[in-house]
Amino acid sequence: MSSRNIYEMDLSQNAANYAALTPLSFLERAASVYPLHTSVIHGKTSYTWSQTYARSCLLASALVGMGIGKGDTVSFMGANTPETFEAHFGVPMTGAVLNALNVRLDAKAIAFILGHAETKILFTDREYSETIKAALLLMDKPPLVIDIDDQEYSGGELLGEQTYEDVLQQGDPNYRCFQIDDEWQAISLNYTSGTTGDPKGVVYHHRGAYLNAISNGLCWDLVSHPVYLWTLPMFHCNGWCFPWTLAAVAGTNVCLRHVRDDAVFAAIKEYQVTHFCGAPVVLNTLVNAADELKAGIAHQVKAMTAGAAPPAAVIAGMENMGFSVTHVYGLTETYGPCVVSAPQDDWAELTIEERAERVARQGVRAPLQDELMVADPESMVPVPKDGKTMGEIFMRGNIVMKGYLKNPATTEKSFAGGWFHSGDLAVWHADGYVEIKDRSKDIIISGGENISSLEVESVLFKHPNILEAAVVASSDEKWGEVPCAFVTLKKGAELSAEELVAYCREELAGFKIPKKVCFGPIDKTSTGKVQKYLLRERAETISKVANN
């Protein structure tokens, strides 16, 4: 080793050879290279990339004029509309942080978040005026409110003194910004939907947003100019960073306010949508849609799914429709997806069911995620890649949050030992693919045996009459816990609890068979995650199926 390092002499960073990584640069490039390419379509409105850049710059300069700058929070209670998309660029241009709110939260949760985030300005869509109105009443020091007055939506009321478009009018048309000083600077703040307790504020930075935006493209083999349908809410981990991905590949964003099967299929046909993301429940809705909705799609459509392990039956159903499915996995803390069930060449030779089983595993680290392991939660020693030994999923690298806002204790705990603790329990297969067996709290322990609620759900999903299923633990005097199944049947289908139990007996070991069954709708969060804590409460009140 040299005593002097010649590669560190007079070779320092300067303005010519170093720029902070920021997804803002993707927008500037899309606008300058593809100025006339359509960036956003929303009903009768559409914009080009040069217009989207110009509008984002107007937003930024108007915000600067209102005193917004580095370290400030700007919240958006927005639908999947051009305004929310533009906010992903215009807000960070000022140095401020975008806090996209989960529009399905209640007033109390919104008030908590706006207070905790110290929001200076809140933009809010008319659709959510009732919630916001109530939330503002709960606050001592409410933020300045600006309305998003979407002409494509009627209903709700205007709460502030000016609208988003009024604000743009105040912007400087000559303002341009696509660079920042510090790539570690915060870009956005996303509150976990959390099952209990106050939500935690997850902080993303420009570097991570830049890298995950690209990683999304790499793990989906995305090429230039995709047509992307916004079935995923933009407030959900910043739409898994896809607003920035779409700028990087100069694609077209097709906005969608409400995810309904007819609207999704209509958009796919009208705009020749090539890509969309969504929770498995979205895919399930499409698979179970009426045949006439599905007819008439001749082009390849690619879906990316995450948020829960998609039942193999759903993946197979999508493939049967001619849609390809990429299964990814991540958490709010990892900018959304940072693990992908990367397809292997030899999967092409499998049957559709076998392939679906492979795809349903969470997978391997996404292209730009740095490290992933399944390890003992205490010792952090990696488990063997035997497909059996259970451990916790840990990640580390650039696609892990900056930390929780104003919560150093939880931040420190979640990063203990130099890895992010996901809280998800999984096995590690011989081929390096991770498969989630459960959230630690979703494991059912019956008579000392562990039951994976996912395994039971996966069996239920295969039943031809079942649309959706969720399984939780219910306390039991004899066994400690027993599985309780919540089941939604397909339209017009019939199934009794006894028939369901008999079906399970063919597929599952006796101790894994649901001892309680409840038919009807399943409680879900606004992002489509099943709310198991609610189901667990309900399960306690349900009686056992006779002779089971």
Q: Residues 376-405 vs a copy of itself: string with x where CB under 8 A?
A: -------------------xxxx-xxxx-x
Nearest-angstrom CA–CA distance, 216 and 230: 15
CB of 212 to a copy of itself, least distance (A): 12
**According to CB under 8 A, which one of 102, 371, 434, 543 is a site residue for a copy of itself?**
371
Tokens of 130: 């009732």
Q: Residues 309-348 vs a copy of itself: string with x where CB under 8 A?
A: ---------------------------------x-xx---
Between 18 and 546, whose beta carbon lies closer to a copy of itself?
Answer: 18
Instruction: Rule CB under 8 A: say whether 147 interacts with a copy of itself.
Output: no
Give the 3-state DSSP-derived string for 459-520, with helices as H, strands as E and coil as C.
HHHHCCCEEEEEEEEEEECCCEEEEEEEEEECCCCCCCHHHHHHHHHHHCCHHHCCCEEEEC
Between 107 and 202, whose beta carbon lies closer to a copy of itself?
Answer: 202
Site residues for a copy of itself, 456-495, by CB under 8 A, read: none
Q: Residues 46-75 vs a copy of itself: string with x where CB under 8 A?
A: ---------------------xxxxxxx--
Instruction: Rule CB under 8 A: say whether 41 interacts with a copy of itself.
Output: no
Helix (H) or strand (E) holding 29: helix 24-33
Question: Quick one: which of 103, 100, 86 has its CA closest to 30?
Answer: 86
CB of 163 to a copy of itself, least distance (A): 24
Instruction: Rule CB under 8 A: say whether 32 interacts with a copy of itself.
Output: yes
Angle of helix 24-33 relative to helix 206-219, nearest 10 degrees, comes to 60
**According to CB under 8 A, which one of 51, 185, 284, 285 is a site residue for a copy of itself?**
185
Instruction: Rule CB under 8 A: say whether 173 interacts with a copy of itself.
Output: no
Residue 303 neighbours by CB distance under 10 Å: 24
Q: Residues 79-108 vs a copy of itself: string with x where CB under 8 A?
A: ------------------x-----------
126 backbone dihedrals φ, ψ, rounded to 5°: -50, -35
* # residues near a copy of itself by CB under 8 A: 77
**According to CB under 8 A, which one of 158, 218, 293, 542 is a site residue for a copy of itself?**
218
Instruction: Rule CB under 8 A: say whether 9 interacts with a copy of itself.
Output: yes
CB of 406 to a copy of itself, least distance (A): 6
Instruction: Rule CB under 8 A: say whether 408 interacts with a copy of itself.
Output: yes
CB of 488 to a copy of itself, least distance (A): 36
Q: Are 441 and 424 in contact (CB under 8 A)?
A: no
Nearest-angstrom CA–CA distance, 483 and 471: 6
What lies within 8 Å, CB to CB, of 311 at 6+ separation is 280, 284, 360, 457, 458, 461, 462
Q: Residues 421-450 vs a copy of itself: string with x where CB under 8 A?
A: -----------x------------------
483 backbone dihedrals φ, ψ, rounded to 5°: -75, 135
Site residues for a copy of itself, 244-263, by CB under 8 A, read: 248-249
Residue type, 141: K
Instruction: Rule CB under 8 A: say whether 34 interacts with a copy of itself.
Output: yes
Nearest-angstrom CA–CA distance, 403 and 36: 39
Nearest-angstrom CA–CA distance, 57 and 174: 8
Question: Quick one: which of 173, 81, 95, 174 has its CA closest to 123?
Answer: 81
Between 225 and 441, whose beta carbon lies closer to a copy of itself?
Answer: 225
CA 291 to chain centre: 28
Instruction: Rule CB under 8 A: say whether 214 interacts with a copy of itself.
Output: yes
